[in-house]
Structure 1
Amino acid sequence: MEVKIVENYQEMSRLAAILLAAEVIENPHTILGLATGSTPVGLYKELITMYQNGKLDFSDVKTFNLDEYVGLAAEHEQSYHYFMKKNLFEHINMKEENIHIPRGDAADISEEALRYEQEIQKTGKIQLQLLGLGENGHIGFNEPADSFSVQTGEIVLTDSTIEANQRFFERREDVPKTAISIGIGTIMNAEKILLVACGEKKAKAVKSVVEGRVTPHVPGSILQFHPHVTVIADRAATALLKK
């Protein structure tokens, strides 16, 4: 695991975008795993700028998003379909058929999770998986548990995750209680992983993931066993790491 410490959010976003862009340039047919949340927004802005300046071509890139809230239609303003459209996809030349996000409003969530997992396996190994990091150490929506999840499935969100996401909704009761998420096993199957973290609220999670013992109670700690992980975090998020 390589940890790159930067000064601030802007530097984190820029460096992460450069690494992701390099993957696209090196392999125009690459398969990317993408994340949502506030942390990757700056990274996506950097990619949009690179595309608008003629430096990137996404026409043959395929993407799989990590997760989606159960119960939200793609058109819902707080769905991750909507987030990805507004923060990235509508600004670049991605083909609609190459974009994959689980359907949170599927009639049968278990069936949708299985379909999504099979779609990933059919398309091929994810070359670069982008991850954010929850304050409780979750990656995707894989919450602390007694065992690591393996494949895509429905996850019950913890109170801390619901509280962290409350700012995006009018009321706490509007925050979905479950989500479809790619499993830890599928994440670990990616060739390369890029984790981004920013701010002092993430410092405990970063320390646990990078230096703590590997445990499903800190889902991101499993990344210590992956052969090619890059962590890009600002000084606030890495403040608790051993110097």
Structure 2
Amino acid sequence: MQTIIESDYEALSERASEWIAKCVSDKPDAVLCLAAGATPVGAFRKLVSMAREGKVDLSKCRFVGLDEWAGLGREDEGSCKRLLYEEIFEPLQIPEDQLYMFDACSEDLAGQCQAMNRRIETLGGIDFMLVGAGMNGHIGFNEPGTSFDTYAHVANLDEVTQQVGQKYFTKPMRLRTGVTLGLRHLAESRSVVLMVSGSHKADIVERIVNEGISEQLPASLVRKHPNGCLLLDSEAAVKARKD
């Protein structure tokens, strides 16, 4: 695993957007999986600016959703789908037939996961994943204890995830389950960047860097990826071991 430390969030976002652009330049119809959440928004906005300036063309890319809160859809406050539409898909006018997202409002969430697994296989796999690490070290909704061999599945959310997730909503929400790609998808992706920002993530970054690779710390799986990168700003990296 490669580790890159940028000076601040602005530089971190710039680096992440350039990484995505390089992937698309190499493969214009790349299959991208971009995490929703606060951390990657800066990268998304820079990527949109690059596209509008003609520096990158994402019009042929296919996009696969990483995760979603059970019961929430595109119009719901705090949904992953809503953020991705607002920050990426709508500004870049990505056609709907190039978007492959979970329908977390479905009564058959397990069926949604099976359909997502088949879709990713049909697409030929994921070329690039931009993911984040939760306060408990989760990736997507792959909570501590999730098998590294798991594909898309319905996840019972850890208490930490339930609590931290409230920040995306203006009123208290009952967040018990979600749907998510599995850690096997991450392992099989051709390239993955784990993007982490802020001093509040310093403790979990320290664990990712210094602890053993374990299913109790899902984000540690990135260390095994042949094309994996831990991308940090200086605040997130403050407790990481310096080799």
2:124 partner letter: G
Quick one: structure 1 residues 176 and 149, their matched pair in 2 at CA, closer, same or farther if it must change by over 3 Å? farther
| Residue of structure 2 in register with 1:103 after alignment | 103
Deviations 1:169-206 (A, max 9, x none): 2333x142111000001111001101110011111221
Cα separation, 2, equivalents of 1:175 and 1:47 = 33
Cα separation, 2, equivalents of 1:73 and 1:40 = 20
| Residue of structure 2 in register with 1:36 after alignment | 36
TM-score (norm 1): 0.96
Cα separation, 1, equivalents of 2:209 and 2:126 = 22
Say if 1:58 and 1:93, in contact at 8 Å, map to a contact too. no
| Residue of structure 1 in register with 2:213 after alignment | 214
Cα separation, 2, equivalents of 1:191 and 1:210 = 21
**Is 2:230 the counterpart of 1:231?**
yes
| Residue of structure 2 in register with 1:185 after alignment | 184
Shift of 1:167: 1.5
Deviates most, 205-214 or 39-48: 205-214
Give SS of 1:180's match.
Answer: strand
Quick one: percent identity of the two aligned structures?
29
Deviations 1:154-177 (A, max 9, x none): 1111111111111222333x1421
| Residue of structure 2 in register with 1:195 after alignment | 194
Give SS of 1:90's match.
Answer: helix
| Residue of structure 2 in register with 1:131 after alignment | 131
Say if 1:102 and 1:116, in contact at 8 Å, map to a contact too. yes
Shift of 1:146: 6.1
1:230 partner letter: C
Shift of 1:149: 5.1
Give SS of 1:18's match.
Answer: helix
Say if 2:147 and 2:183, in contact at 8 Å, map to a contact too. no
Give SS of 1:239's match.
Answer: coil
Cα separation, 1, equivalents of 2:147 and 2:127 = 25
1:81 partner letter: K
Aligned CA RMSD, in angstroms, stands at 1.3
1:197 partner letter: V
| Residue of structure 1 in register with 2:239 after alignment | 240
| Residue of structure 2 in register with 1:162 after alignment | 162
Deviates most, 141-150 or 156-165: 141-150
Cα separation, 1, equivalents of 2:14 and 2:37 = 17
Cα separation, 1, equivalents of 2:163 and 2:39 = 17
Quick one: structure 1 residues 91 and 204, their matched pair in 2 at CA, closer, same or farther if it must change by over 3 Å? same
Cα separation, 2, equivalents of 1:229 and 1:73 = 30
Cα separation, 1, equivalents of 2:133 and 2:146 = 19
2:201 partner letter: K
Unpaired runs of 5+ residues, structure 1, are none
Number of aligned residue pairs? 242
Give SS of 2:226's match.
Answer: coil
Say if 1:71 and 1:176, in contact at 8 Å, map to a contact too. no
